[in-house]
Amino acid sequence: MRIAVSSQGTDLTSKVDPRFGRASYFLVFDTSDESFEVVENSQNVNAAQGAGIQAAETVANKKVDIVVAGNFGPKAFRAFEAAGIKTALWADGTVSEAIELVRNNKLKILDKANVGGHWM
């Protein structure tokens, strides 16, 4: 399984970023070999518009199965839904904690966006 988590930093001890589209980084963790990749999101951090959909495209291209972040706007949520990628809300700790919650099926999978467009 490949798990993407919005992150404030570049390692597994980094805090989960409560934003999705404007998160600083995404950490993509592969449970098959316990490796992770850091994906920069600098192009969307200060974007005037379209940050969610562009970030969703970047993450979806990493062939992930699920994305964890503190919030998902409607465009990002729809993009993931269309790609068959699950989304889950959680931003109360570190990236490694988020990964463990996914592995243990402790996060609720979203059925809709939890914030409106242009939420910051």
**CATH code: domain of residue 73:** 3.30.420.130
- Output the pLDDT for position 43: 80
Q: Confirm if 79 and 57 have CB atoms less than 8 A apart.
A: yes
Look at the chain and report how many structural domains it folds into. 1
The answer to whether position 7 is within a domain reads yes
Q: Confirm if 43 and 25 have CB atoms less than 8 A apart.
A: no
The arrangement of strands across the sheet holding 66-69 comes to 35-40, 25-30, 2-7, 66-69, 86-89
Which domain covers residue 62, as residue numbers?
2-103
- Output the pLDDT for position 118: 57
Per-residue pLDDT of the chain (120 residues; tens, 9 = 90+): 999 999 999 999 999 999 999 999 999 999 999 999 999 998 877 766 768 889 999 999 999 999 999 999 999 999 999 999 999 999 999 999 999 999 999 999 999 998 876 544
The answer to whether position 26 is within a domain reads yes
- Helix ranges restricted to H, 12-110: 42-45, 51-60, 74-83, 95-103
- Output the pLDDT for position 5: 98
The answer to whether position 115 is within a domain reads no
Classify residue 53 by its DSSP letter: H
- How far apart CA 29 and CA 96 sit, in angstroms, is 9
The answer to whether position 40 is within a domain reads yes
User: Could you tell me which residues come within 8 angstroms of residue 4 by beta carbon, excluding any fewer than 6 positions away?
Assistant: 26, 27, 28, 29, 39, 59, 62, 64, 66, 67, 68
The answer to whether position 114 is within a domain reads no
The answer to whether position 116 is within a domain reads no
The answer to whether position 32 is within a domain reads yes
- How far apart CA 91 and CA 7 sit, in angstroms, is 9
Give the torsion sign (CA, 46, 81, 57, 94): positive
The answer to whether position 74 is within a domain reads yes
